[in-house]
């Protein structure tokens, strides 16, 4: 029999829908907790895609695609305004 895993230690993908509220209540939403979660996510990404022996373009292309999407979102109001401008 597998050992019982505490709900706090369960990954989000393994949480049942009925347990989602109590799982979210156990999360640490303080600035330190959010910063720690971002740091863990960055370390996981870095070790999976960047810090590898035989690297590829996967990790760097995802960062580039993320930058392109983010810059478009930031400039969307300006692009939307230019779309309705008449040039005559």
- Helical packing angle, 76-83 and 58-74, nearest 10°: 60
**pLDDT given for residue 4 in this prediction:** 67
Contacts of 22 (CB under 8 A, 6+ apart): 7
Distance between CA 14 and CA 1 in Å, rounded? Answer: 18
pLDDT tens for the chain, 88 residues long, are: 455 667 777 888 888 888 888 888 888 889 999 999 999 999 998 888 878 777 678 778 888 999 999 998 988 777 776 666 666 5
The pLDDT of residue 31: 92
Q: What is the pTM of this model?
A: 0.52
d(CA 73, CA 65): 12
Q: Is the dihedral of CA 75, 79, 80, 86 positive or negative?
A: positive
């Amino acid at each position: 029999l597998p050992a019982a895993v505490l709900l706090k230690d369960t990954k989000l993908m393994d949480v049942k829908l009925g347990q989602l509220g109590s799982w979210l209540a156990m999360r640490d939403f303080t600035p330190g907790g959010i910063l720690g979660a971002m740091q863990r996510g960055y370390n996981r990404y870095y070790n999976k895609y960047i810090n590898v022996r035989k690297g590829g373009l996967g990790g760097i292309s995802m960062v580039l695609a993320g930058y392109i999407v983010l810059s478009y979102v930031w400039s969307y109001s300006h692009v939307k305004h230019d779309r309705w401008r008449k040039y005559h």
